[in-house]
Amino acid sequence: CHPLAELGVRLESPAFVSGVEVPVLATTFRVAKDRSRTSHGNKPEIEVDGERLFAEEFVVRHLRRTGWDAFWIDSHKRSFWPLEVDPPKHLATWVTDLGAGRRYTTGTWDVVASRGSSIIAYELKGPRDSIKQSQAQWFGEASLRGLDVEASAVLSWSTGR
């Protein structure tokens, strides 16, 4: 069972990223009408059960509720989220090693998570967004360094009414 299956995601045609077949999942989120946070430029907030949050925060919360140590690698703020919890050392080291010694690099996927020895990652793509070459390169390198490519995916989301 895919870690995001409970969210009602649909499996789309796979994409080929750096020569690796990547599952593409699709879902719909309700976008908040006005902006309460402007900390991330034009990044839209979504509404889930009356709460406003970024899609990455929603995915992290879901994974954490289902037993994963999950984090949003917020390259805009150069931090892991949630801020109050440090990622497990092996996960932070894995991310750092992928960045050639830099903790935050262009192309790092949005959400990384671990449970036991398994490491998964998600790149979230909202409306009018697509995978960048640096993200394809990151995925290719990550797949060679232990990323569970069967459970990792691009999560493409559209807006609902």
Band of residue 105 on the pLDDT scale cut at 50, 70, 90: low
Tokens for 45, please give them: 């907030």
Element (H, E) at 136: helix 133-144
Of all residues in the chain, the percent with pLDDT exceeding 70 is 84
Strand partners, 15: 22
Residue count (the chain): 161
Phi then psi for residue 61, to 5 deg, are: -60, -45
pLDDT of 123: 93
Indicate whether 122 pLDDT > 90: yes
pLDDT of 147 strictly over 80: yes
pLDDT for residue 121: 94
**In terms of DSSP H, where are the helices of 27-132?**
55-65, 89-98
Distance CA 79, CA 75 (A): 7
The lowest-confidence range among 22-26, 73-77, 150-154 is 73-77
